[in-house]
Chain A
Amino acid sequence: MADPTFRDVEMLSTYLDGKLSQSDSVRLEARLAADPELDSILQDLSGARSLLRSLPQRRAPRNFTLSPQKAGVRPPLPRAYPVLRFASALAAILFFFTFLGNNVALPAAQVAAPALAQDRYASGGGGPATEAPQESAPIVGALPAPTPEMGMALAPPEPTPVPAPEQAKASSPAPFQAWQGALLGLALVLGGSALLVRWRVDRDFKRKTRNLQ
């Protein structure tokens, strides 16, 4: 009679649990009747299983119920909360960009505009400064020598200085518009409302779940 293999032990263990197919069970039972060693292994497996099944269920040393904090549960928020939060954020963003536009982009443009006008004026009153010499170059030799009067007429006029008070006015920040103030106020009110709603919901939730802490 062949020595039992681990395949046999696995079959015996499965048979013990009633999970072996009908045909395999019939074949194994025939072998068990003829092979005392195989039957001895079956008794061993059965004894070990019985001992394990006899182990008592241990009682939990404490309750494992979850508090809202442990479970990571947050109270359900009213539907107005996300609307308030979104509106507050939107108002804040709008305020930020309009404020940025008025105080950074606009003064820069106002500073650049007088400088450009000054350049144009310095080049001879109108067209670009580089165009005039190119146009006049071919006829320089054909013309009579310039007289002092002509020289006076061709000389560029002295640049007119921009008055200092106007420059100061152009570079100063734009006044705080009333509608910008309203936008800022709206952002603050909506944001504050969202925080208030959240605080009240959290407080009520804590009161209700105090017995679970």
Chain B
Amino acid sequence: MDEPALIRAAQHGDLDAFNRLVLAYQDNVFSTALRILGDEDLAADASQEAFISAFRGLNGYRGGSFRAWLLRTVTNACYDELRRRKRRPTIPLEPVNDEEEEIETPRWLADTSMSPEQRVEADELEHAIQHCLEGLPVEFRTVVVLADIQGLDYVEVAAAVRTPLGTVKSRLARARLRLRECLQGFGELLPDTFRLQDKAAPQPAGRT
């Protein structure tokens, strides 16, 4: 895929070219939205909105990482979605069945490439991490999703969340520390390589 050529064509209104870029990045965009929003339907809506906004605002792309630019767009779409959800706070945080009961192993965590046992373990670990992510304030969550899950560098994250670089570093540190504390409660789910120390997380002085 000649990405720069596709971007140039899309900037001139070539929808086919843009759709090839969509197919290349839609998993990245959807995954980011899912980690920030924690709900598959909302994440799908935000992803679709992000691609529409991206196409309409494509002339605002001035080079650099196109993936980072798209993730910035989906971050904005997620913020919009969260604002809407704040106005209408009736959406369940966990998938529920017809009887309004929480589904034990949600469909949105399923991965067909593993054995049933592996899948259960992976699902539970992923569920635990997602649970801890959702416990973070949204501004911390967004930074940690973009930096640690999507692998953007600090400058790209700062541009995506329109925040100074120093604030990004601070939020990332706090988010990692809070996640560490939260994940201690799921110690038995963590794989050996990631097993966290079974002790209370150190409390840095002056913590707020």
Which residues on A are within 8 Å of B, measured CB to CB? 2-6, 8-10, 12-14, 17, 19, 37, 40-41, 43-45, 47-66, 68, 70-73, 76, 209, 212
Count: A-B pairs, CB below 8 Å: 150
> How many angstroms from the CA of A154 to the CA of B66 in the assembled complex?
101
Interfacial chain A residues near B72, Cβ < 8 Å: none
Q: Is the CB of B55 within 8 A of A6?
A: no
Candidates B16, B147, B202, B206; contact of A37 at CB < 8 Å: B202
Give Cα distance in the complex from A70 to B50, angstroms: 12
Asked whether A5 and B205 contact (CB < 8 A) given A43-B197, A44-B197, A66-B15, the answer is: yes
**CB of B106, distance to nearest CB on chain A (Å):** 12
B22 close to A65 (CB less than 8 A):
yes
The interface stretch among B1-9, B29-37, B82-90, B94-102 is B29-37
Residue of A nearest to B201 (CB): A44
Question: Which residues of chain A have C-beta atoms less than 8 A from B29's C-beta?
Answer: 60, 64
B31/A57 in contact, CB under 8 A? yes
Q: Which chain B residues numbered 1 to 57 have a C-beta less than 8 Å away from chain A?
A: 13, 15-16, 18-19, 22-23, 26-31, 34-35, 40, 44, 47-48, 51-52, 55-56
Residues in B whose Cβ lies below 8 Å from that of A54: 125, 191, 194
Asked if B169 is an interface residue, CB under 8 A from chain A, the answer is yes
Top 3 nearest A-B pairs (CB, nearest first) are: A13-B173, A52-B148, A3-B205
Q: Assuming A6-B170, A48-B180, what are 4 further A-B pairs, CB within 8 angstroms?
A: A3-B205, A44-B196, A52-B179, A57-B27
B62 an interface residue at 8 Å Cβ cutoff?
Answer: no
B23 touches A63 (CB 8 A): yes
